[in-house]
Amino acid sequence: MADGLHSWGSSKAPPVSARAPRILDIVAFAFRKGRTYGTVLVDGGSSGPVDVLPDRETGAVAA
């Protein structure tokens, strides 16, 4: 496929830790309304926070 999905789909994914959440919610919030925003990663199963990211950029979530 031209978009590269075929090569991605045929590769094996790295092993996942048993502690990794099965469902991950991504929630944007404001440190200071209208000025500084962040992102919270939340375990969808336990509703507990997993991590807080300093911005709402795609790169921060992908890392």
How far apart (Å, rounded) are the C-alpha atoms in residues 22 and 63? Answer: 18
pLDDT digits (tens, 9 = 90+) for 15-60: 877 788 889 899 999 988 888 999 999 999 898 999 999 988 888 8
39 within a domain of the structure (yes/no): yes
Q: What is the pLDDT of residue 14?
A: 76
DSSP reduced 3-state for 27? strand
Total count of domains within the chain = 1
Strands, DSSP E only, in 14-59? 24-32, 36-43, 49-53
CA angle 19, 23, 26 (to 5 degrees): 110
Q: What is the pLDDT of residue 1?
A: 44
pTM: 0.63
10 within a domain of the structure (yes/no): no
Q: What is the pLDDT of residue 59?
A: 84
Q: Is the pLDDT of residue 8 over 60?
A: no
11 within a domain of the structure (yes/no): no
> Given the structure tokens 């789909």, which residue do they identify?
9
Q: Domain of residue 23: give its range.
A: 18-62
